Amino acid sequence: MTTTLWTRVDSPVGPLLLTADATGALTSLSVPRQKNGRTVEAGWRRDTGPFRAAEEQLAAYFAGELKDFRLEFSTAGSAFRERVWAALDSVPYGATVTYGEIAARIGASRAAVRAVGGAIGANPLLVVRPCHRVIGANGSMTGYAGGMERKMRLLTLEGVLQG
């Protein structure tokens, strides 16, 4: 049986639910009403200790003082999803990319754009793994598991959109 640690952190985009494994590596960051987001389960242990670095970095990010998260992650996805998520990690603060660009970065064909979108939608680490920086090929604001309002707020914070 694996141990799941959790805490909640207040933020400008609502309360964040953070989970970690027994080593303290961040396994998820969810927001209320998130598509496929996590909710506290029986048997999880509330413990703020392993989340201090994440709390500090999230506060600095929302204050506009941090551009790159330096946190240990432990996510479980297929090899394809892990490649997509690693490509998300390389999208710099204040920049956007398209689904097609992410597909190209991982060496996937143009036909794989839908699968890339599915992997991005399954990102378990909202905010810290910047899936909000992915937009449509025509520059449109496309779906975001945390909701379009949150996506717009994050992109405004990063200076991509005018506030």
Q: Is 33 helix (H, G, I), strand (E, B) or coil?
A: coil
**CB-based burial of residue 59 (10 Å sphere; 0-12 exposed, 13-18 middle, 19+ buried)?**
middle
Per annotation, catalytic residue among 13, 58, 87, 131: 131
- The DSSP output letter for 95 is -
Q: Is 146 helix (H, G, I), strand (E, B) or coil?
A: coil
Does residue 94 carry a catalytic annotation? Answer: no
The DSSP element (H or E) to which 133 belongs, if any, is none
Residues with active-site annotation? 131
